[in-house]
Amino acid sequence: MSCILFSISSCNENNGNNSTLSQETYEGPSIALEDVEILFSDSAVVKVKLIAPTQHILENDDMEFPNGIFLQFYNKEERIISTLKGNRGFFFNQKNYYRAEGDVHMINLFTRDELSSEELIWEPNDEQIKTEKFVTIKTEDEIHTGEGLIADQDFVKYKIIKPTGTISIEKENPPSVKASKAN
């Protein structure tokens, strides 16, 4: 870990001291990393991959991902089952959770269900995604809206806490082709 300490000396003519040494401490990240990939595994099986262009590690071991965060969630066969993407990300060490914010999207790659919100929280210990913010979920034939959500990290099972509406999506039938007989 690195820390930068700035030292400033100044003259103060009002109190008769010729010089007074004061110190200001650096309050930014203690470590800054680029092109980050972090793997989360259990018994040598990858469960989650975190990708970020920039990671800042703070003195209290919290982390900030100021240029976005991208998570890939894997199933037991180590195939990507869902993804989560946000404009910014944070990790809170004390409570062990990640928060994605901004234009946040989660997609289940098998069902094609899409979740949109301004904030999603991933809790690694519980393997859950949560929020208290407004959410929109688009499925193959419906759009669901509401406030608050609890979902598994695979985004297979989910529940909107305060649903506000459901819109059915009608699919267009392809134009039918009529066969004609040639005489």
Question: Digits of tens for pLDDT over the chain (183 positions)?
Answer: 333 333 233 334 444 444 444 566 656 667 788 999 999 988 888 999 999 999 999 989 999 999 999 999 999 888 999 999 999 999 999 999 999 999 999 999 999 999 999 999 999 999 999 999 999 999 999 999 999 999 999 999 999 999 999 898 877 665 555 554 444
Query: Domain spanning 29-168 has what CATH number?
Result: 2.60.450.10
Which residue reads 């301004």 in tokens?
Answer: 118
Name the nearest CA neighbour of 77 among 114, 45, 111.
45
Alpha-carbon torsion, ordered 3, 96, 102, 152, to 10 deg = 160
Q: What is the pTM of this model?
A: 0.76
Break the chain into its structural domains and give their ranges. 29-168
pLDDT of residue 16: 47
Count of alpha carbons within 13 angstroms of residue 170, beta-carbon side: 3
pLDDT tens-place string over residues 23-71: 666 566 677 889 999 999 888 889 999 999 999 999 899 999 999 999 9
Token representation of residue 131: 């929020």
Q: Are 90 and 54 in contact (CB under 8 A)?
A: no
Buried-state track 54-88, b at ≥16 Cβ within 10 A, e below 16: bbbbbeeeebbbbebbbbbbbeeeeeebbbbbbeb
DSSP, residue by residue, 11-41: --SSSS-S-EEEEEE--S-SEEEEEEEEEEE
